[in-house]
Every structure is written in C-alpha cells, then in structure tokens.
C-alpha cells in the first residue's frame, strides 16, 4: 500500500472526527507507523491513543486505547527507525509501534510517558490490585469485585 500525504491526511481527518474531546489548539500531528506489523496512522491526545490500521483495498480498522490501560513504555532508536513498546497493565501483552520519523516518535514517547505516569499516580491513590486475579479494585473495597477474593485489613490503606 502506498503512503501518500493525501491518504494520511484523509485518515487523520477521519480520526479527528471520531474524537469527541478533540481541541483545535491541540498540536498533535498524525504519525505514520506500523502497529504489530500493519501500516497505521496514530494520533495521541491527553486521554487516549487513537490509531487506524490500514488494510488492503483501502480498508481501515479504527481503534483507541486509554492511557490508563498501559503501565510501562520504552523506546528503542536505530539508525533509520524508532520503536516504542507499550506494556498493558494486565496480562503480558505489548503494543509495538514502529516508524521512521524519530522526532515524531520522541514526541509521542514524551506524551505517553507523561500520561502513563499521571495515571499510575492516580491508580496508586484510588485503588489496589487483587493478588489473586490481578484486576484493579477500589481502595476501600473489602472484597475483589472480579473474583470475590477477600482483602485483609492490614492491606487496607486507611
């Protein structure tokens, strides 16, 4: 599939129309990348990572992921390309982004790092993680809502 500026801009306009809280002053630019081996266009906002995987015959697969779903990220830079790996909070899955424009990827990395740090701080204050199922529960909960595991009183933050 050919990467044309017109095609990327068209996909970017579609993504912008799908974002309910998109602000015109937001300086986010579309980033051309590969997500898990598929050509994609990415847009990062303060709350979510929006992307469109480009398929055959002009098909498009739109998706978005909240920054709160990720717990860690890392960046790798080679001579000609950059890679960002975002680890999901639950499970051992990783979202891999790869692209040629290093400056755009550095900017995306800084924004992702900031948002993931903010979400991790909020999560530590308002919740706890069940040791049996690994799901997030309210900090004041006595029983896990997912697996009914009973939390000990010593574990409670209050």
- The CATH class, in words, for 5-155 is mainly beta
| Distance separating alpha carbons of residues 126 and 115, to the nearest angstrom | 17
Per-residue model confidence (pLDDT) at position 56: 67
Model confidence pTM above 0.85 = no
User: Taking Cα atoms as reference points, which of 92, 90, 155 lies closest to residue 128?
Assistant: 155
Per-residue model confidence (pLDDT) at position 27: 52
Q: What is the mean pLDDT of each run of 10 residues along the chain (158 residues)?
A: 66 70 55 80 81 73 84 88 87 85 86 85 76 80 88 59
At 75, which helix (H) or strand (E)?
Answer: strand 70-77
User: Taking Cα atoms as reference points, which of 147, 131, 130, 128 lies closest to residue 139?
Assistant: 128
Per-residue model confidence (pLDDT) at position 20: 61
| Distance separating alpha carbons of residues 78 and 96, to the nearest angstrom | 15
């Amino acid at each position: 599939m050919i990467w044309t500026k017109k095609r990327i801009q068209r996909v970017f306009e579609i993504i912008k129309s799908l974002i309910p809280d998109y602000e015109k002053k937001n300086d986010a630019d579309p980033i051309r990348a590969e997500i898990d081996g598929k050509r994609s266009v990415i847009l990062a906002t303060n709350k979510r990572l929006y992307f469109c995987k480009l398929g055959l015959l002009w098909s498009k697969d739109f998706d978005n992921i909240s920054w709160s779903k990720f717990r860690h990220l890392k960046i790798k830079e080679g001579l000609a390309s950059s890679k960002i790996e975002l680890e999901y909070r639950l499970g051992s899955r990783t979202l891999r982004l790869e692209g040629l424009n290093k400056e755009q990827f550095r900017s995306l990395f800084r924004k992702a790092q900031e948002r993931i740090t903010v979400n991790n701080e909020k999560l530590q204050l308002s919740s706890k993680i069940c040791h049996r199922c690994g799901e997030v529960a309210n900090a004041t909960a006595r029983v896990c809502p997912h697996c009914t595991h009973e939390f000990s009183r010593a574990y409670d933050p209050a």
